[in-house]
Amino acid sequence: MSKILVLPGDGIGTEIIDEAIKLISAVESLFGFHCEIEQGLIGGIAVDQAGSPLPEQTVALAKQADAVLLGAVGGPKWDQLDRHLRPERGLLGIRAELGLFANLRPAILFPQLAAASTLKEEVVSGLDILIIRELTGGIYFGEPRGEKVVDGKRVGFNTMIYQEDEIARIVQAGFDAARKRGGRLCSVDKANVLDVSGLWRDVATAVGEKNPDVELSHMYVDNAAMQLVRAPKQFDVMVTGNLFGDILSDCAAMLTGSIGMLPSASLNESGAGMYEPVHGSAPDIAGTGQANPLATFLSTAMMYRHSLERADIADAIEAAVSAVLDQGLRTGDIFSDGCKKVGTLEMSGAVINALQQTD
């Protein structure tokens, strides 16, 4: 039996994870695939209830689980806390504790949503790209970091640092993913300026020599940001460091119409993983019942595919999401004229219903 740890977190996190739990139990009765679900604390709610954004018990439960399903963390209530108590620290902490170095962020445009993108339909229709972001290194974790006073002035600093083996393993993850898709990998760096990127490019090139069946290209990050909004379909898989991946994946998210549609998987070397929607805790709509549960459902699909070895279940969930979009149901974030506006519960119920029909 597979063990899943759910971490609802803050804001709309609790609302969408409630729906994911319903989805998992529907999968259980439809496919006879049993999962044991535990709940844990992370983020602001963990600060409130346990005094830390990442309580030790959460780490222990996560290490025993086959997969972690996370909602979202953060909100204005905790913005004034010291940096080490901020909800975001919980997220960075669990990534580090579980060694989740490979963050997969697919940006797929469901054809039914082409009109919801801010970009012209012809630029985004058929879009299917995958951003692979290094998640446990780089400037997010580099030392030294901090703030000090130099010559009477406050100075803040971080360190962008990568070891060659860290670069090699994420770039290899990029090659492995590209091989299963369109066979093209674009490595993104800032090698014209940064030493750390010079090393990145050397290592990527060397790893490329061992993967001759995949076409490797390199691009500077500023150009990559521009190309993503100019002609995003030129990409198949992109691989990049932690900070660049953070920025580029938000950019890619908007191509698909709404960040409310995008799932993600964060994997470690043993294949265990954490799955979360790319959107955040959306404090502005928390508690109103308007949150889009689809990114969480698609993240749940990724969980079945990558950590629970049930690609068939993942396919069925994705097909059910698509079927509901065909029915014209839309939450506010993906709404367009002629569609039916629904809330979290109705959207979730419709997907579960569609899943029951497909089986």
What residues act catalytically? 140, 190, 222, 246, 250
Nearest residue relative to ligand IPM (C-beta): 88
Nearest residue relative to Mg ion (C-beta): 246
Binding segment for Mg ion (CB under 5 A), chosen from 115-123, 217-225, 239-247, 284-292, is 239-247
DSSP codes joined into one string, 166-218? HHHHHHHHHHHHHHTTTSEEEEEE-TTT-HHHHHHHHHHHHHHHT-TTSEEEE
- The one of ligand IPM, Mg ion, none whose footprint includes residue 18, by CB under 5 to 8 A per kind, is none
Nearer to ligand IPM, 22 or 77 (CB): 77
Nearer to ligand IPM, 30 or 247 (CB): 247
Amino acid 210 reads K
Inter-residue contact 104 to 44 (CB < 8 Å): no
Inter-residue contact 187 to 174 (CB < 8 Å): yes
Nearer to Mg ion, 246 or 318 (CB): 246
Residue 249 C-beta: closest distance to ligand IPM, Å: 6
Tell me if 166 contacts Mg ion by CB under 5 A.
Answer: no
Tell me if 246 contacts Mg ion by CB under 5 A.
Answer: yes
Which contacts (CB < 8 Å, 24+ apart) does range 353-356 have? 354/319, 354/320, 354/321, 354/323, 354/324, 354/327, 355/23, 355/26, 355/27, 355/30, 355/316, 355/317, 355/320, 356/26, 356/30
Residue 334 C-beta: closest distance to ligand IPM, Å: 20
Tell me if 134 contacts Mg ion by CB under 5 A.
Answer: no
Instruction: Summarize as ranges the residues that interact with ligand IPM (CB under 6 A).
Output: 88, 91-92, 246
Nearer to Mg ion, 201 or 279 (CB): 279
Beta pairing class for 35-39 and 2-9:
parallel
Residue 210 C-beta: closest distance to ligand IPM, Å: 29
Q: Cα(first)–Cα(last) distance of the chain, in Å?
A: 22
Give the orientation angle of helix 344-358 with respect to helix 294-306, to 10 degrees. Answer: 40
Tell me if 318 contacts Mg ion by CB under 5 A.
Answer: no
Candidates 158, 237, 228, 170; CA nearest to 199 is 170
Tell me if 276 contacts Mg ion by CB under 5 A.
Answer: no
Q: Please, which residues bridge with residue 67 across strands?
A: 4, 273
Nearer to ligand IPM, 250 or 346 (CB): 250
Nearer to ligand IPM, 78 or 235 (CB): 78
Nearer to ligand IPM, 12 or 350 (CB): 12
- The one of Mg ion, ligand IPM, none whose footprint includes residue 176, by CB under 5 to 8 A per kind, is none
- The one of ligand IPM, Mg ion, none whose footprint includes residue 88, by CB under 5 to 8 A per kind, is ligand IPM
Candidates 177, 162, 163; CA nearest to 102 is 177
Tell me if 10 contacts Mg ion by CB under 5 A.
Answer: no
Residue 73 C-beta: closest distance to ligand IPM, Å: 7
Residue 348 C-beta: closest distance to ligand IPM, Å: 23
Candidates 323, 295, 272, 313; CA nearest to 26 is 313
Angle subtended at Cα 126 by Cα 189 and Cα 234, rounded to the nearest 5 degrees: 30
DSSP character at residue 118: S
- The one of Mg ion, ligand IPM, none whose footprint includes residue 166, by CB under 5 to 8 A per kind, is none
Residue 17 C-beta: closest distance to ligand IPM, Å: 16
Residue 142 C-beta: closest distance to ligand IPM, Å: 14
**For residue 176, how many other CB atoms are within 10 A of its CB?**
15
- The one of Mg ion, ligand IPM, none whose footprint includes residue 346, by CB under 5 to 8 A per kind, is none
Residue linked to tokens 């445009």: 109
Amino acid 308 reads L
List of residues contacting Mg ion (CB under 5 A)? 246
